[in-house]
Structure 1
Amino acid sequence: MAVITEIPGPKGLPVLGSILDLRRDTLGTFLRIRQEYGDVVRVSAGPPGLRTVLHCVFSAEGAQQILASQAANFRKDNQFYEELRLSAGNGLLTSQDADYLRQRRLIQPMFTKRRVDGYAAAVTLEATATAESWRDTAEVDVVQEMNHLALRTVSRILFGADVEAAVDVIDRNFPVINNYVTQRGFSPANPPRNWPTPANRRAGAATGEVYAVCDRIIAERRAKGEDDGDDLLSLLSRAGSEQDGTLDPAEIRDQVLIFLLAGHETTATSMAFALHLLALHPEEQAKARQEADALPPDRPLTATDLDRLPYLTAVLKEAMRLFPAAPVIGRRSVEAAEIDGHLIPAGADVLIAPWVTHRHPGLWTDPDHFDPDRFTPEQEASRHRYAWFPFGGGPRACIGQHFSMLESVLALAVLLRSYELEAVDTEVPLAAGITLQATGPARVRLRARK
């Protein structure tokens, strides 16, 4: 088969291209252009001289080539990752080459299944506290509540007893940083960060406050010699090898910031939309609750309970299909490459979109319908490996995916054992940021169970 060199795509406006469509409705625009132009689409956005050309790849095969089989040719060298690196540090999510390999080797032992399973106690502790806080409440916004739950959980696992010192600072400042990185990451031109613009000053103050609280906790731990605990900060402080040395305080802070960002916003999104979908679908909610109710009632949930919750796990996976926490993933090509039968030029900005691939009618029957039974073992085995990739894939796949699944499933089980849910909001407005952003509430009515 001949390689297609002329990649199709929308012409857009004569001067601005497709930038207005992308800014008005990024996710909807990607869905539309796949339907109109196919699985590999070229999109121009911005005025001449500041124009960005995006090569969008929507097929499962294309995603596999970019993330896995040709991963070395598609790097995190684009503008978005540079902005994220400048705001959140050179941690595991943003680092590359020798830095990334060294960090991965040092950090991998902290995310073995055995180590992660030990975090189940912190998950159930925070989920139970959330359930108790709802006792005198008739209605909650699950977007807000799951953000708070996930932040407290990851902060407890990171900081241990110092959890309270970090939660408020992160909760106030991360949305500012998220918005700043998103705006600059997708803008055709940005003022230098050291110019005293209102946006620069707000983001600088937010980043400074987050850095300060992390640096203070790290310094206090080191001053007291308290780095023998089981929380991730203690493990990072002790991490080292003859080959890779140890992490200095700035490197530890960068890893902490990435864990906070990737470990709470993504998991919060998955849990919030799982609850939202269950509230909209009473039959599926009852089936998931039946599993949770079958667990022993006289003890906190543990990692061993995960295998006893296959339907609830399928609910979560289906929520992550419909509402992937990372709806769009960017890379930049080093050399020209053939991707899904199309020639991607050297130096191209390339986007793959779980938001679109997870709804691809060639991969999913009735793709907009909520159906947890898509994730039975038999159904999963029959699909392309990259029909569903909420954790990315290949050598840069998310190191925390087992932790995210453990936290989400156990927390959902705790909440479903405590409440029946009824949807108030049937639609939740969305936007694409560093992660998928709910720009409005997802309210549910609560009915406490005895």
Structure 2
Amino acid sequence: MPDTRIPGPPGLPLIGSMLDLRRDALQAYRDAFREHGDVVRFTAGPPGLRATFWMVYSPEAAQQVLAGESANFRKESAFYEEIRQSFGNGLLTSQDEDYQRQRRLIQPLFTRRRVDTYAEAIAVEAEALVERWAAVPDGVVEAAGEMSGFALRAVARILFGTDVEEAIATVRDNFPILGAFVRTRGFSPLRLPRQWPLPAHKEALAAEQALYAVCDQIIARRGDAETEDLLGLLATARDEDGGQLDATELREQVLVFLLAGHETTATSLTFALHLLGLHPKEQERAREEVDRVLAGGRRPTAEDYNALPYTTQVLKEAMRLFPAAPAIGRRSVAETVIGGVTVPAGSDVLVSPYVTHRHPAHWEDPERFDPDRFTPEREAQRHRYAWFPFGGGPRACIGQHFSMLESVLGLAALLREFEIEAVDTEVELGQGITLETRSPVRIRLTRRG
């Protein structure tokens, strides 16, 4: 029986909180915070298959798990194992010496100076998106799908260079299948062996093989040839001992970059457009800034990033309300105390940007859209982990600047060309590998003169 002294929803007698979590996990997290405070224990699943996990909601607890005691919290949950099984042991899921070695090899490719060289590819894809949107007969587009396509094409162009068209169709068709498979298994109390010939297993295996094949073909064709796209830089990267990534490791890093590099950016852009479509005054303020910086209709460049502070604030506020990673999981190695509650060794512990970003002790009127929360002065006054859409600590996302650069330049290119109105004022959300939209996010576009 659960220890009733530990705060948490009681759930149903036989299955705990399983139905609430399956129906709407994000709402279940918020309800538990509101009713039980900053540290909550959930139980879910039938006897014999019951899972217990801990949600921690305060910025202080997030900092403890991700940074202060990061060595005690490892990526060993069932969810990470499912990602590892499907997408490989890349930077997102690797640990210990594997992770340190990969990070040493890859970090130089994600310095601010190197990432700024990717701005041209982002601008090219943004221009193509503008042209396509200008041709939409009724001016209504579904933002989530459109932003997913834009972000995928941008990251694929940066990865594969001239081979982008070969890869894009395979990735577009198979990533959703494999992502849905990982999500279902990651949240299921019962995971049947992958080798069993069930329809869902066969479909996921076919998607996995297609993704592996297109990456392997491009990698093999490159051989030792040096190219300036990210794949070429990865292939020729060396650590201080002369070590490099082999073909399998290259493929695993490519798949992780495709996964993390397009879904997170797509989410940020989707909700930035949605929120601006609901708030015309903030939209006009952002557009005035864009018109001033990109005067004469020129293509945005990396040098424009720092000249677009309000556009950046819009995106940060969208990422506060709709973080691409609504929950981040770890598993404790040793017993520890979080927020005055003892968490046993071997516990699954989740921090939740989705809830912490709405914590009333750190955010006034937290549901209100207000980009001015992210002026430098106000950011400096907040706890470091009141806003952490890219995680934190030694495992913070290596692609933070890349995601922000792509989002700011992409949004600027769209605001310069279109006025935006939200068609769907409410959006149904869900939790998958990243934050999911489970209803349309339509916006109406009016081409500016």
Compute the displacement of 1:212 (Å). 0.6
Deviation at 1:62, TM superposition (A): 0.2
Measured in 2, the distance between the counterparts of 1:186 and 1:265 equals 19
Q: Find the residue that maps to 2:296 and give its secondary structure.
A: coil
Report the alpha carbon displacement of residue 243 of structure 1 after superposing the two structures with TM: 2.5
Preserved CA contact (<8 Å) 2:116 2:302: yes
Match of 1:277 in 2: 275
Percent of matched pairs sharing the same residue: 62
Structure 1 spans left out of the alignment, 5+ residues: none
Determine helix, strand or coil for the equivalent of 1:264. Answer: helix
**What SS is found at the alignment partner of 1:240?**
coil
The one-letter code of the counterpart of 1:132 is E
User: How big is the shift at 1:241?
Assistant: 2.5
Q: Distance in 2 between matches of 1:69 and 1:351?
A: 15
Query: Closer, same or farther in 2 for the Cα pair 1:240/1:6, shift >3 Å?
Result: farther
How far residue 244 of structure 1 moved from its aligned partner, in angstroms, is: 5.9
Residue of structure 2 in register with 1:46 after alignment? 45
What amino acid is the match of 1:28?
Q
- CA distance in 2 between counterparts of 1:297 and 1:103 reads 43
Q: Distance in 2 between matches of 1:125 and 1:399?
A: 24
Q: For residue 99 of structure 1, what is the amino acid of its counterpart?
A: D
Structure 1 residue aligned with 2:231: 233
2:272 matched to 1:288?
Answer: no
| Structure 2: distance between partners of 1:327 and 1:173 | 23
Q: Say whether the 8 Å CA contact 1:106–1:244 is kept in structure 2.
A: no
Contact 1:63 1:386 in 2 (8 A): yes
1:124 matched to 2:96? The reply is no
The one-letter code matched in structure 2 to 1:61 is: E
Structure 1, 404-413 or 301-310: larger mean CA deviation:
301-310
CA contact (8 A) 2:326 2:353 kept: yes
What residue number does 1:262 align with? Answer: 260
Amino acid at match of 1:55: W
TM-score by length of 2: 0.97
* Alignment-mate amino acid for residue 121 of structure 1: E
Give the Cα separation in 2 of the matches to 1:262 and 1:392. Answer: 13
Provide closer, same or farther for how the CA distance between residues 244 and 5 of structure 1 changes in structure 2, counting only shifts above 3 A: farther
Pairs within 5 Å for 1:342-381: 342-381=341-380
How far residue 5 of structure 1 moved from its aligned partner, in angstroms, is 11
Q: Does the 8 Å CA contact 1:328/1:353 hold for their aligned counterparts?
A: yes
- Mark the CA change 1:384 to 1:244 in structure 2 (over 3 Å): closer, same or farther: farther
Structure 2 residue identity aligned to 1:178 = G
SS at match of 1:274: helix
Determine the structure 2 residue equivalent to 1:327: 326
CA contact (8 A) 2:356 2:386 kept: yes
3-state secondary structure, aligned to 1:270: helix
Cα distance between partner residues in 1 of 2:200 and 2:57: 33
Q: Does 335-344 or 252-261 show the bigger shift? A: 335-344
Residues 143-180 of structure 1 deviation map (CA, whole Å, 9 limit, x = unaligned)? 11100100000000000001101111111111111111
8 Å contact 2:104–2:239 — kept in the other structure?
Answer: no
Report the Cα distance in structure 2 between the residues aligned to 1:6 and 1:445, rounded to whole angstroms.
51
Deviation larger for 89-98 or 298-307: 298-307
Q: Distance in 1 between matches of 2:52 and 2:242?
A: 39
Structure 1: distance between partners of 2:297 and 2:15: 62
Q: What is the SS of the residue equivalent to 1:414?
A: helix
CA displacement, residues 186-213 of structure 1 (integer Å, 9 cap, x when unaligned): 1111110000011111110111101110
- Structure 2 Cα separation of the partners of residues 315 and 299 of structure 1: 22
1:136 positional shift: 2.1
Give the TM-score taking structure 1 as reference length: 0.97
1:176 aligns with 177
Query: What is the distance in 1 between the residues matched to 2:313 and 2:117?
Result: 23
Q: Aligned pairs, how many? A: 444
RMSD: 1.2
Displacement after TM superposition at 1:298 (Å): 4.9
Partner of residue 107, structure 2: 108
* TM superposition shift of 1:340: 2.0
* Aligned counterpart, 1:12: 11
Which residue of structure 2 aligns with residue 424 of structure 1? 423
Indicate conservation of the 8 Å contact 1:5/1:342, yes or no: no
Contact 1:127 1:415 in 2 (8 A): yes
SS of the residue aligned with 1:230? Answer: coil
Task: Find the aligned partners of 1:327 and 1:243 in 2 and give their Cα distance.
Answer: 38
One-letter amino acid of the structure 2 residue matched with residue 140 of structure 1: V
Moved more, 295-304 or 31-40: 295-304
Counterpart position of 2:77: 78
Provide the secondary structure at the position in 2 that maps to 1:246: coil
Identify the residue that residue 194 of structure 1 maps to in structure 2: 195
Distance 2:5 2:333 in 1: 19
Dislocated runs of 4+, deviation >4 Å: none
**What displacement does 1:430 show?**
1.0
Q: Deviations over 1:327-361 (max 9, x none)?
A: 01110000001112221110001111101001111
